[in-house]
Amino acid sequence: MSQEHWKSKIGFILAAAGSAIGLGAIWKFPYIAGTGGGGAFFLIFLLFTVILGAPLLIGEFIIGRRTKLDAVSAYQKIAPGSFWTVIGRLGVVTCFILLSFYSVIGGWIIIYLFEAIRGSLDGLSQDGYGTLFNDIIANPGPTLFAQFLFMLIAILVVAKGVQKGIEVTSKIMMPALFLLFLVLVIRSVSLDGSMEGIKFLLVPDFSKLTSESVLFALGQAFFTLSVGVSVMVTYASYLPKTQHLPQAAFSIIIINIFVALLAGLAIFPGVFSFGLEPDAGPVLIFAVLPAVFSNMQFGTLFFIIFLLLFLFAALTSAFSMLEIFVAATTKKDNTKRTKRSWQLGMLIFLVGIPSCLSYGVLSDFLLFDKTIFDLFDYTVSNILMPLGALLISLFIPLRMSKSMLYEEMALGSNVGKVFFHIWYYVLKYVTPIAIIIVFLDVLGLWDFIFDLFS
Ligand code: PFF
């Protein structure tokens, strides 16, 4: 049995950053920032990412590197036979559901890329883009095929293994993503009237903030960092003891914030410059951006570049979701990797079919008042991910000794006791309390409490 491991420190950081940066930062962030108050939302998201996301990320890294095991076995090793072993299974199931609908959006990007290259996105009216988007996603044949293609790429890369597949691909994709984004931002901020958009994103107006947008910012911080599902446990299990864990976590956080900032700077100046609405919702990127780009010189070319980068980002996140599953079911026996990647990838594709059809033939099929896509998204983002994060934040202080935690954190790093204690107590108290606030919102209790006191 050959053990997987990362070849270089930077390879690990780029792969983990690749898992973090995806649809969350590029697709979800601008639209919830757009509806959630712009600059004020961004600021709160930053605070949550640094104060709550960072300790969880470091915590998952410690569990992974300490045990050197997959997400399911890691918890079993630390707390054998206990309730806590549910955390790893929960993470695997969450990633399974998440990838099943994530790949639907991945498929939309592929279709848009194809349409942009064909030139069919040129010169439509603003409404025309909205209609085109709705027509595209309602058509089962192409969307299913594109979703299949997205999964196929993920399978091929994950089957190649951690070092040759995920690490090499991330090393090329992540820097490319930065470069392409910089081009877009330069293009976008040089538009007439772009200042409005920059102000919208960077100047906080707290009067626009609602309790709901604060809670969205919290959920978004977990989602974009891929924490709470033990993907980062799995990635860290391939690490040598020489990696500086807090430094890796902070690099990933800084890259993640930077990409969300770049996404905002690429999108909002364009939106304002052309008199479009920042709160267009989930369709913002797909229905609004083509309009923004079509008004630019070389617009189609820029849009194609944007879509490519968008696809890269979504793929590197998909790799991590499939990897956690492959690692947990092969118990890292590499001889089973290829077969398992195919079996699991195809199963995830099949499970994702109803989500894909939710925008077409199954649009009237509702469960708990939601389409299947929305139900899956809701379950993952509002229930399973915060639940996983909550359990991890309880598990670490309750089941791992402080000395063991410090020893693991200090390996490969020169962090002092002060940093360790701040990390430990924030994880022990601040993180669970904040997550419970999210749950109160999901259950509607937050509104109830607000009403009670107003
Ligand atoms: N962080 C990814 C994104 O922002 O798109 C989503 C994600 C990937 C969540 C992997 C969870 C995960 F395990």
Domains identified in the chain, total number: 1
Task: Specify the range with the lowest mean pLDDT, choosing from 79-88, 184-193, 274-283.
Answer: 274-283
Q: In the structure, what pLDDT confidence band is assigned to residue 446 with cuts at 50, 70 and 90?
A: low
Ligand 1 binding pocket mutation candidate from 101, 321, 323 (most atoms within 8 A of CB)? 321
Give the ligand 1 atom nearest the CA of 224.
4
Q: Ligand 1 atom closest to Cα of 313? A: 5
Reported as a single tens digit per residue, the pLDDT across 40-85 is 999 989 998 998 899 999 999 999 999 999 889 999 999 998 999 9
Supply the pLDDT for residue 278: 82
Averaged pLDDT for residues 169-185: 79
- Tell me how far the alpha carbon of residue 378 lies from the centroid of ligand 1, in angstroms: 14
Pocket test for ligand 1, best of 27, 100, 223, 325 (most atoms within 8 A of CB): 223
pLDDT at 233: 93
Is 166 a residue whose pLDDT tops 80? no
Q: Radius of gyration (Cα) for the chain, nearest Å? A: 21
Q: Which of 92, 320, 324 to mutate to test the pocket of ligand 1 (most atoms within 8 A of CB)?
A: 320
| Gap from CA of 226 to ligand 1 centroid (Å) | 4
Q: What is the CATH number of the domain that holds 409?
A: 1.10.4160.10
Ligand 1 centre distance from Cα of residue 361 (Å): 28
pLDDT at site 3: 56
Query: Which band of pLDDT confidence, cut at 50, 70 and 90, is reported for residue 1?
Result: very low
User: What tokens does 66 get?
Assistant: 């300490």
Tell me if 2 is assigned to some domain.
no
pLDDT tens track for 75-118: 999 999 899 999 999 999 999 999 999 999 999 999 999 999 99
Residue 161 in this model has a pLDDT that exceeds 80: no
* Cα 35 to Cα 211, 259, 423, distances in angstroms: 13, 19, 32
Greatest mean pLDDT among 205-209, 389-393, 446-450: 389-393
Using the mean position of ligand 1's atoms as its centre, give its distance from the Cα of residue 17 in Å: 10
Please give the pLDDT value at position 298. Answer: 81
* Position 421 pLDDT exceeds 80: yes
Q: Where does ligand 1 bind, in terms of residues with CB under 6 Å?
A: 19-20, 22-25, 95, 98, 223-224, 226, 229, 231, 317, 320-321
pLDDT at 394: 96
Ligand 1 nearest-atom number relative to CA 385: 11
Using CB atoms within 10 A of its CB, is residue 394 exposed (0-12), middle (13-18) or buried (19+)? middle
Among 302, 266, 261, 267, residue whose Cα is nearest residue 284: 267
Residue owning the nearest CA to atom 7 of ligand 1 = 226
245 lies in a domain?
Answer: yes
Spacing, Cα 223 to ligand 1 middle (Å): 6
Environment class of 86 (CB within 10 Å of its CB; exposed 0-12, middle 13-18, buried 19+): middle
Centroid of ligand 1 to alpha carbon of 107 (angstroms): 16
- Residue 1 included in any domain: no
Taking the mean position of all CA atoms in its chain, how far away is CA 193?
31
Q: Provide the percentage of residues in the chain whose pLDDT is more than 70.
A: 94
Q: Confirm whether 57 is domain-assigned.
A: yes
> Ligand 1 center to residue 94 CA distance, Å?
11
Residue 165 has pLDDT above 80, yes or no: no
* Structural domain includes residue 324: yes
Question: Is 51 a member of any domain?
Answer: yes
> Which of 230, 224, 226, 296 lies closest to 259 in space, CA to CA?
224
User: What's the rounded Cα separation, in Å, for the pair 39 and 21?
Assistant: 20
Task: Give the closest residue (by CA) to ligand 1 atom 13.
Answer: 226
| pLDDT exceeds 90 at position 154 | yes
Task: Give the ligand 1 atom nearest the CA of 231.
Answer: 13
- How confident is the prediction for the chain on average, in pLDDT? 86
Contact 63, 285 (CB under 8 A): no
> CA–CA separation, 392 vs 60, rounded Å?
8
pLDDT of residue 15 exceeding 90, the answer is no
Higher pLDDT, 332 or 423: 423
Q: What is the pLDDT of residue 443?
A: 67
How far apart, in whole angstroms, are the C-alpha atoms of residue 100 and residue 165? 21
Residues spanned by the domain of 298: 9-453
Residue 141 has pLDDT above 50, yes or no: yes
Residue 6: pLDDT band by 50, 70, 90 thresholds? low
13 compared with 127, residue with greater pLDDT: 13
pLDDT tens by residue, 247-276: 999 988 998 898 889 988 988 888 888 777
Report pLDDT for 2: 46
Please compute the mean of the pLDDT values over residues 139-145 and round it to a whole number. Answer: 94
Q: Which of 71-75, 149-153, 166-170, 178-182 has the lowest mean pLDDT?
A: 166-170
Model pLDDT, residue 180: 78
Give the residue, out of 317, 321, 387, with the most ligand 1 atoms within 8 A of its beta carbon, to mutate for a pocket test. Answer: 317
Question: In this structure, is residue 241 part of a structural domain?
Answer: yes
Ligand 1 mean position, distance from CA 24 (Å): 7
Whether 4 is covered by a domain: the verdict is no
For 361, other C-beta atoms within 10 Å of its C-beta total 13
Please state, in angstroms and rounded to a whole number, the distance separating the CA atoms of residues 222 and 14: 18
Residue identifier of the C-alpha nearest atom 12 of ligand 1: 226
Place of tokens 């924030």: 426
The average pLDDT across 199-223 equals 83
